[in-house]
Amino acid sequence: MLFAILFTFWRFAEIVTLIPVMGMLAWFVNGYVEANMVTPSYILVLFVVSVLALAWAMFTLFSYHRSSAHAQFVGLVDLAFVGALIAGVYYLRFVSNLDCTSVTAGSQVDIDFGIFGSARIGSLDVSLDKTCGMLKASFALGIMNCIFFFITSALAWIHGDRAAKSERAYVVERRRSHSRHSRHSSHHRGGSRSRRSSHSHHRAYV
């Protein structure tokens, strides 16, 4: 019961935070596609990972009983998403140094966003407030989901380990019960044969 509550809570947190990431990055991808330009890797990697992670989170949330039965597999996939999200955040790491409200001379902002604007050192004529803000939000939410997926991975792995131990204990108990039943049945059949043999022997001498 506790596993179900915690797992559902963190899955819901993942879904709520991944939807904005997917939506914002989809806006960038759509802009590059309409401009017939190649989408930069720092946008494309996190976008693809967020789409896949969102689909996985929704699937395992709405099919909880199946996910619970294969908890260790769910934990392994969640751990893989942790690595993929780390890669996506790493590609986008440069936005952590950007000031989305103002750019002053000497600041480390020499980034070209192509059709979405650009920033140059020593220039105050910058038109990237929306672009910068969306990328920074995606970066922050990506880091949050690295933590969230690690938590659900640990929860699923712990639950799966306990379920596996319970199943092994159940199998051992079933084998013991079957063994006791077999010995009892064998003893019962042996006793019946002994009684029938004794009765037949008595009748032979009467």
Phi-psi region at 36: left, alpha or beta (left = phi > 0; alpha = psi -120 to 50): left
Which of 25, 4, 1, 2 has the alpha carbon at shortest distance from 145?
25
Residue ranges per domain, the chain?
A: 2-159
Name which of 46-50, 148-152, 177-181, 198-202 the model is least confident about.
198-202
Structure tokens at 150: 């690690």
List helix spans (H) across 35-70.
41-62, 64-69
Mean per-residue pLDDT, 60-79: 83
Q: Percent of the chain scored above 90 by pLDDT?
A: 43
pTM for the predicted model, two decimal places: 0.68
